[in-house]
Amino acid sequence: MSINYYNTNAQNFIKDTFNLAMSDLMDEFLAFVPEEGIILDLGCGSGRDSLEFQRRGYQVVAVDGSQAMIDHATKILGNHAVCSTFDEYGTDTRFHGIWALASLLHVPEEDMVQMIRKYLGLLVDEGIFLSKR
């Protein structure tokens, strides 16, 4: 799926995925993130997971390449989410956790090692990077 796909099909995608339960996986991830830590939701889509992280007291930076998804994420998060592709995104912020759920599957296999290195460089010491296809 491409950014164009998500822009064109955002409402259906959100309807089909917004209520999926991720709490068990989140609990495992958050066991390694300090209270009030900063989380990068890489490929945040609708903002579903970012919203749950906020509800649990974490600071979240939500990033996605689809403007339609970012528009929805911004509405529900009450702040500005960042529309950027994975390779274009850059920041001076260091994160306690990076949550990349069903997002790195969009990175070409030949670019994966470089992409993971880039994002590992955004973690604080002993930060956690979770990626699940």
Task: Please state, in angstroms and rounded to a whole number, the distance separating the CA atoms of residues 37 and 96.
Answer: 6
Q: pTM of the full predicted structure? A: 0.84
* Domains defined along the chain, listed by start: 3-132 (3.40.50.150)
3-state secondary structure of 100: strand
pLDDT at 16: 56
3-state secondary structure of 4: helix
Of 42, 117, 121, the C-alpha closest to 82 is 42
| pLDDT, tens digit (0-9, with 9 covering 90-100), for 108-130 | 788 788 989 999 999 999 999 99
pLDDT band at 74 (very low <50, low <70, confident <90, very high): very high
Task: Please state, in angstroms and rounded to a whole number, the distance separating the CA atoms of residues 90 and 124.
Answer: 15
